[in-house]
């Protein structure tokens, strides 16, 4: 089956689909009646579209007129549409709203004048068509503005006056669709109840009331006999919005009950009863389909704070680049100063300061005897602890040896100061680079689309459940994943499974949760919609000595954007000291990644932190597997880490490379590779405590498969047995297995 993404990559196919869609749409609009009156609705549609699509509108309308026998009875509709299509071809591809309105109004006006002069238009029809001159232009203007918003892609976000034009388009289109009937079934009336219930569930009372008012206007415009039903739709929409936390079936029942009451109280007209029955069909679709997800993919109210967020993001990026410019300039200046002319050689310094004032200077240096120069060369090359001896027959031997000793002390001190200066500069520039990255990542976080309505809804839900929140934020990631961030006091106890189930029922979406993280007196918990793949993890480890902690540390966590991380850090050596180093690396890495940093930036910052250690040499490896729950793509980052084994299909792949651990060099460069796994595939991260001779054994057990936890313990036990119960190094095995969720299975 061809996906929508594949269709978008084929312009000709997409163009054909659009022409077909506009042909069918115009065929429906041409057949529409508004309280028994046919209006030139296809005219403003053709005026607002490019020339080729305007021609499709003309073709679809002519097909409807032909099959309905209206080619002779509706000449004004045909003439107005032909004139509009000719105007559209004259305008060309330009998407000017005023030109679209002028084309529609002008075509209808010319048609009215021609038929009025011919005596074919008079009385009430003349009044109606005269009103269409203004209404058609306004409608074309609105369609053109909405079309411009749609060109930026979905979900459709409207701002300011565009909302009003979209509302008018919705009323007219929905009213026209109400005329499309199959016996008693009206597609427009089914769509009306479906859309109202969907918007009320997602946007609650404001969305339900507003959509109810628009739907009522559309039904009255289509058929005045639905007045009894239309009178209660606004109230029903608001009531359904208040019950948005209930199950869809409950909302549907509430909506149908209120509208039925309106039908009974205001007169049981046949159009109203038919509309109510069609509303039942729309409610059935609402209950069966994932309406909220569909609505989020199609339409969203634009957040008025979006411009402010974009401004803050731009300022963060500007500040980041400013700091980067200062750092680059400082580095260039430091390099220029380091490349200054070398200092004067010790031999020349001693000669100028001591020998030039001696009366034997000419005898020692200008007589052609190389004994003095050879002796001075030995003195300059001698070490700090060597005994210095002046040349024979020197008149100032003590001053000569003292001068050389002083220069050696000064040289050693200057080298030490230069080394300290280089270390300080390196640390300063590294911290400035980290600041740049933090600002840039903060700016990137500001670009998220935060849903204020859902944020308020989640806050109200948790407040009613007695959970005190400092803040909550609901946003949508680039992969259409819903992300819920909750911030509370560190003393607040959160039952993550119960809280997730509560929000799942309210939002009608499957959610995954992460363990709350604590920073200072604040607690943060992240929930996100379930991806297409689920990852099961297992781990096992053993220490060199039973009475000491394992020098390896491991962790699994998510970043809140659809990625699961498997991380192992191995400190230098074993025991408590190694465990401290690996724990520092692991904890800092998790906090930075969950704050929004990418893996390499987080590793660079941790590398800078480790370089500020005391004079002792201390470092730790870092082994990261980043797994996407949407695509099952695995990205490996290795900093001096052990091998990784991946079982993909029937093959077992070993990934290993020589890299430096964290905390040794100023720049930590990882080995990275990307591989996409499938359901049933496995991934094993191994610390360097495992001997190479165990790899065939591990490969054999991976090929056989089995329980993930049992496999990790089997590998650890094998490492202990081969070392006669005492491994040479700490051993850690961290594994993951990919499986498809229900949504992923359905999609595949």
Q: Is residue 357 part of a domain?
A: yes
Q: Is residue 511 part of a domain?
A: yes
Tell me: the pLDDT tens digits for 556-609? 888 877 788 999 998 877 777 788 888 888 888 888 887 777 888 888 878 877
Q: What is the pLDDT, as a whole number, of residue 371? A: 73
- Domain boundary residue, one of 272, 302, 332: 302
Do 314 and 276 belong together in one domain?
no
Q: Does 397 score more than 80 pLDDT?
A: no
Residues 32 and 565: their CA atoms lie apart, in Å, by 56
| Mean pLDDT for the chain overall | 77
Tokens of 143: 């369609």
Do 20 and 122 belong together in one domain?
yes
User: Cis peptide leading into 506, omega within 30 of 0?
Assistant: no
Mean pLDDT, range 22-30, rounded to an integer: 81
Do 551 and 583 belong together in one domain?
yes
* Cα dihedral: 127, 130, 136, 141 (round 10): -130
Q: Using an 8 Å Cβ cutoff, are 740 and 748 in contact?
A: yes
Q: Is residue 173 part of a domain?
A: no
Residues 667 and 569: their CA atoms lie apart, in Å, by 18
Do 93 and 190 belong together in one domain?
no
Mean pLDDT, range 630-638, rounded to an integer: 90
* Cα dihedral: 630, 636, 639, 644 (round 10): 130
Tell me: the pLDDT tens digits for 50-60? 888 888 888 88
Q: Does 275 score more than 70 pLDDT?
A: yes
Q: What is the pLDDT, as a whole number, of residue 607? A: 83
Residues 640 and 660: their CA atoms lie apart, in Å, by 5
Q: Is residue 58 part of a domain?
A: yes
Residues 612 and 633: their CA atoms lie apart, in Å, by 35
Do 141 and 187 belong together in one domain?
no
Q: What is the pLDDT, as a whole number, of residue 303? A: 46
Instruction: Please tell me the least confidently modeled range out of 396-400, 737-741, 743-747.
Output: 743-747
- Length of the chain, in residues: 748
Do 316 and 439 belong together in one domain?
yes
Q: What is the pLDDT, as a whole number, of residue 489? A: 84
Residues 6+ apart with CB under 8 A from 345: 380
Q: Does 634 score more than 90 pLDDT?
A: yes
Q: Does 741 score more than 60 pLDDT?
A: yes
Q: What is the pLDDT, as a whole number, of residue 626? A: 93
Q: What is the pLDDT, as a whole number, of residue 627? A: 92
Tell me: the pLDDT tens digits for 308-323? 455 455 555 655 665 5
Q: What is the pTM of this model?
A: 0.53
Q: In which band, very low, low, confident or very high, does the pLDDT at 514 lie, cut at 50, 70 and 90?
A: confident
Q: What is the pLDDT, as a whole number, of residue 748? A: 43
Q: What is the pLDDT, as a whole number, of residue 612? A: 64
pLDDT cut 90: percent of the chain above it? 2
Do 270 and 357 belong together in one domain?
no
CATH code assigned at 739: 3.60.40.10
Tokens of 336: 């220029």
Q: Is residue 453 part of a domain?
A: yes
Tell me: the pLDDT tens digits for 219-270? 888 887 787 778 888 888 888 888 877 888 888 898 888 888 888 876 677 8
Q: Is residue 391 part of a domain?
A: yes
User: Cis peptide leading into 155, omega within 30 of 0?
Assistant: yes
Highest mean pLDDT among 92-101, 187-196, 612-621, 630-639 belongs to 630-639
Query: What sign does the dihedral 21-25-28-30 (CA atoms) show?
Result: negative
Q: Residue 235 belongs to what H/E stretch?
A: helix 227-242
Q: Does 442 score more than 70 pLDDT?
A: no
- Domain boundary residue, one of 408, 429, 446: 446
Residue whose pair of structure tokens reads 């020197």 in the numeric block:
394
Q: Cβ of 146: how many Cβ atoms within 10 Å?
A: 19
Q: Residue 654 belongs to what H/E stretch?
A: strand 651-655
Q: Using an 8 Å Cβ cutoff, are 189 and 229 in contact?
A: no
Do 84 and 224 belong together in one domain?
no
Q: What is the pLDDT, as a whole number, of residue 635? A: 92
Q: How many CA atoms lie within 13 A of 496 on its CB side?
A: 15
Q: What is the pLDDT, as a whole number, of residue 746? A: 42
Give backbone dihedrals phi and psi of 493, rounded to 5 degrees, phi first: -90, 125
Mean pLDDT, range 730-744, rounded to an integer: 80
Do 575 and 705 belong together in one domain?
yes
* C-alpha 31 chain-centroid distance: 44
Number of domains in the chain: 5
Residues 11 and 1: their CA atoms lie apart, in Å, by 18
Q: Using an 8 Å Cβ cutoff, are 288 and 249 in contact?
A: no
Do 135 and 207 belong together in one domain?
no
Q: Does 187 score more than 60 pLDDT?
A: yes
- Domain boundary residue, one of 509, 529, 549: 529
Q: Is residue 165 part of a domain?
A: no
Instruction: Provide the domain limits for residue 548.
Output: 533-747
3-state helix, strand, coil in the chain (%, to 5): 60, 15, 25
Q: In which band, very low, low, confident or very high, does the pLDDT at 516 lie, cut at 50, 70 and 90?
A: confident
Q: Residue 87 belongs to what H/E stretch?
A: helix 75-91
Q: What is the pLDDT, as a whole number, of residue 568? A: 92
Q: Does 507 score more than 80 pLDDT?
A: no
Residues 737 and 682: their CA atoms lie apart, in Å, by 4
Q: Using an 8 Å Cβ cutoff, are 60 and 113 in contact?
A: no
Q: Residue 253 belongs to what H/E stretch?
A: helix 248-265
Give the residue among 742, 745, 738 at the shortest CA–CA distance from 681. 738
Instruction: Give the three-class secondary structure for 628.
Output: strand
Do 329 and 365 belong together in one domain?
yes
Residues 3 and 575: their CA atoms lie apart, in Å, by 54
Q: What is the pLDDT, as a whole number, of residue 54? A: 85
Q: Is residue 167 part of a domain?
A: no
Give the residue among 283, 221, 276 at the shortest CA–CA distance from 249. 283
Residues 6+ apart with CB under 8 A from 747: 532
Mean pLDDT, range 98-115, rounded to an integer: 87
Q: Cβ of 50: how many Cβ atoms within 10 Å?
A: 18
Q: Using an 8 Å Cβ cutoff, are 610 and 662 in contact?
A: yes
Give the residue among 560, 570, 574 at the shortest CA–CA distance from 638. 570
Do 719 and 578 belong together in one domain?
yes
Q: Using an 8 Å Cβ cutoff, are 668 and 716 in contact?
A: no
Residues 338 and 724: their CA atoms lie apart, in Å, by 55
Tokens of 497: 């499974």
DSSP secondary structure string, 129-146? HHHHHHHHHHHHHHHHHH
More confident residue, 591 or 744: 591
Tokens of 419: 């080394």
Q: Which long-range contacts (CB under 8 A, 24 or more apart) does 717-725 make?
A: 718/694, 719/542, 719/689, 719/690, 719/691, 719/694, 720/542, 722/691, 722/693, 722/694
Mean pLDDT, range 62-70, rounded to an integer: 80
More confident residue, 434 or 535: 535
More confident residue, 280 or 560: 280
CA-to-CA dists, residue 335 to 101, 417, 449, 729, angstroms? 65, 16, 43, 42
């Amino acid at each position: 089956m061809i996906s929508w993404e594949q269709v978008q990559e084929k312009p000709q196919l997409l163009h054909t689909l659009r022409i077909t869609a506009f042909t069918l749409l115009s065929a429906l609009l041409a057949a529409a009646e508004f309280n028994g009156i046919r209006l030139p609705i296809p005219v403003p549609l053709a005026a607002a579209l490019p020339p080729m699509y305007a021609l499709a509108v003309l073709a679809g309308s002519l097909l409807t007129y032909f099959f309905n026998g209206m080619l002779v009875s509706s000449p004004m509709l045909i003439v107005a549409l032909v004139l509009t299509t000719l105007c559209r071809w004259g305008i060309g591809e330009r998407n000017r709203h005023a030109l679209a309105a002028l084309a529609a109004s002008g075509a209808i006006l010319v048609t009215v004048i021609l038929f009025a002069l011919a005596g074919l238009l008079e009385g009430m029809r003349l009044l109606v068509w005269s009103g269409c001159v203004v209404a058609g232009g306004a409608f074309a203007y609105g369609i053109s503005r909405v079309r411009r918003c749609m060109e930026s892609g979905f979900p459709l976000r409207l701002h300011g006056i565009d909302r009003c034009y979209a509302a008018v388009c919705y009323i007219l289109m929905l009213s026209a669709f109400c005329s499309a009937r199959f016996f008693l079934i009206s597609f427009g009336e089914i769509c009306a109840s479906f859309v109202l219930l969907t918007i009320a569930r997602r946007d609650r009372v404001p969305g339900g009331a507003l959509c109810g008012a628009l739907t009522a206007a559309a039904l009255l415009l289509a058929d005045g006999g639905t007045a009894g039903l239309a009178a209660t739709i606004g109230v029903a929409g608001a009531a359904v919005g208040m019950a948005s936390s209930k199950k869809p079936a409950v909302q549907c029942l509430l909506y149908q009950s209120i509208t039925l009451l309106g039908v009974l109280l205001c007169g049981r007209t046949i159009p109203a009863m038919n509309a109510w029955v069609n509303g039942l069909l729309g409610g059935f679709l609402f209950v069966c389909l994932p309406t909220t997800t569909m609505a989020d993919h199609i339409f969203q109210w634009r957040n008025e704070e979006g411009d402010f967020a974009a401004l803050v993001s731009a300022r963060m990026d500007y500040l980041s680049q400013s700091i980067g410019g200062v750092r680059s300039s400082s580095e260039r200046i430091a390099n220029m100063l380091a490349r200054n002319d070398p200092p004067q050689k010790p031999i020349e310094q001693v000669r100028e300061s001591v020998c030039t004032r001696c009366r034997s200077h000419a005898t020692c240096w200008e007589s052609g005897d190389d004994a003095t120069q050879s002796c001075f060369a030995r003195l300059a090359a001698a070490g700090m602890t060597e005994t210095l001896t002046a040349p024979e027959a020197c008149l100032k031997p003590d001053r000569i040896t003292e001068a050389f000793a002083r220069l050696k002390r000064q040289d050693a001190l200057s080298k030490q100061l230069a080394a300290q200066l280089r270390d300080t500069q390196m640390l300063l520039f590294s911290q400035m680079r980290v600041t740049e990255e933090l600002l840039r990542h903060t700016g990137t976080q500001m670009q998220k689309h935060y849903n204020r309505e859902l944020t308020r809804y989640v806050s109200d839900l948790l407040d009613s459940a007695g959970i005190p929140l400092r803040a909550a934020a609901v946003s949508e990631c680039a992969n259409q994943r819903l992300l819920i961030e909750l911030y509370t006091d560190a003393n607040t106890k959160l039952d993550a499974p119960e809280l997730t189930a509560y929000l799942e029922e309210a939002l009608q979406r499957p959610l995954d949760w992460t363990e709350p993280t604590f920073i200072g007196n604040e607690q943060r918990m992240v929930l996100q919609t379930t991806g297409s793949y689920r990852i099961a993890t297992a781990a096992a480890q053993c220490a060199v000595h039973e009475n000491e902690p394992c020098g390896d540390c491991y962790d699994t966590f998510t970043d809140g954007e659809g990625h699961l991380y498997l991380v192992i850090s191995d400190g230098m050596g074993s025991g408590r000291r190694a465990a401290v180093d690996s724990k520092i690396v692991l904890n800092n890495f998790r906090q930075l990644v969950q704050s929004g940093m990418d893996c390499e930036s987080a590793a660079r910052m941790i590398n800078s932190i480790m370089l500020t250690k005391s004079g002792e040499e201390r470092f730790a490896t870092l082994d990261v597997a980043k797994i996407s729950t949407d695509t099952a793509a695995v990205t490996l980052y290795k900093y001096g880490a052990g091998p990784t084994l991946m079982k993909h299909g029937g093959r077992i792949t070993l990934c290993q490379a020589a890299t430096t651990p964290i905390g040794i060099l100023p720049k930590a460069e990882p080995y990275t590779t990307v591989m996409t796994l499938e359901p049933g595939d496995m991934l094993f991260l191994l610390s360097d405590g495992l001997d190479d001779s165990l790899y065939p054994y591990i490969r054999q057990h991976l090929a056989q498969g089995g329980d993930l936890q049992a496999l990790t313990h089997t590998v650890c036990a094998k490492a202990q047995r081969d070392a006669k119960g005492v491994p040479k190094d700490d051993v850690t095995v961290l594994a993951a297995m990919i499986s498809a969720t229900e949504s992923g299975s359905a999609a595949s």
